Amino acid sequence: MVVNFARTAASTELLKQVFHSIDAQSCPRLYNFHMHTVHSDGRLQPSGLMEQAIAIGLQGLAITDHHCIDGYQAAQAWLQDWKWNNPDVSTPHLWTGTEINANLLNIEVHILAYAFEPEHSHIKPYLQRKAVIGQEYEAVNVIAAIHQAGGLAVLAHPARYKRSLFDLIPAAAEYGIDGVEAFYAYNNPNPWKPSAVESQQVQQLADKYHLFNTCGTDTHGLNLLQRL
């Protein structure tokens, strides 16, 4: 476990450096921090997802299946085998990830967790393939659990909820959120590109509250370059 925590700390620091560099051009061909596989509500097999990630030339990514890391684990095993058989080919960095339902300002939001130690006791309740209830469902406790497991917490698609992002982001910041998904395509355009107005609004709040900006396609279909 000591070795795992040391590795987790290094992985988290690397992810922080990457998050510092994210801009509107980062996704979907350099980085992608929001995607789903058949292990939650996506259509891609983890192996197929990783094949696309390598073909696209992604430098880093996270699979964020809902309340589980089964897709990540399968992808990581596939990636290690692929690297063994292709030692001279550059491969992307794959971080741990999951998407967690939580209560924030009395509405349900989604919190993305990254670079956490998956065996840590505090994150385990959120990796049981279903949303938690009670106090563990509160956003402040979700964020705390992610941090205790050595990870980073990000508010997913802040402009998709029943309350304004101008309410939600300050509240999440008060609870210790690390970042916000600033670059997100709300209307599923083809080709994928972040929604200009919402991205600008989220970035301004991220700057005000000293939060990371992240990006992701939120892929549920068969193409990592699209949401659906």
Q: How far is CA 211 from the centre of its chain?
A: 15
Q: What is the pLDDT of residue 4?
A: 67
CB 141 within 8 A of CB 104: no
* Distance between CA atoms of residues 46 and 77, nearest Å: 10
Residue 38 DSSP class: T
Side chain identity, residue 34: H
Domains along the sequence of the chain with CATH:
2-215 (3.20.20.140)
* Distance between CA atoms of residues 192 and 86, nearest Å: 30
Q: What is the pLDDT of residue 8?
A: 86
Series of mean pLDDT values for 10-residue runs along the chain (228 residues): 70 97 97 98 98 97 98 98 93 97 98 97 97 98 98 98 98 98 96 97 98 98 96
Q: What is the pLDDT of residue 3?
A: 43
* Distance between CA atoms of residues 228 and 225, nearest Å: 9
171-182 core/surface letters (b: 16 or more CB in 10 A; e: else): bbbebebbbbbb
Helix residue ranges per DSSP H, the chain: 2-21, 46-56, 70-85, 139-148, 165-174, 196-208
Cβ neighbours of residue 116 under 8 Å, at least 6 residues apart?
A: 8, 96, 123, 146, 149, 150, 151, 152
The number of CA neighbours under 13 Å toward the Cβ of 103 is 9
The number of CA neighbours under 13 Å toward the Cβ of 223 is 8
How many other C-beta atoms are found inside a 10 Å radius of the C-beta of residue 196?
Answer: 9
CB 65 within 8 A of CB 40: yes
The answer, as to whether pTM is greater than 0.85, is yes
What does the radius of gyration of the chain's CA atoms come to, in whole angstroms? 16
CA distances from 58 to 49, 73, 93, 99, 166 (A): 11, 18, 8, 21, 32
CA distances from 137 to 131, 132, 143, 190 (A): 8, 5, 10, 35
Side chain identity, residue 75: A
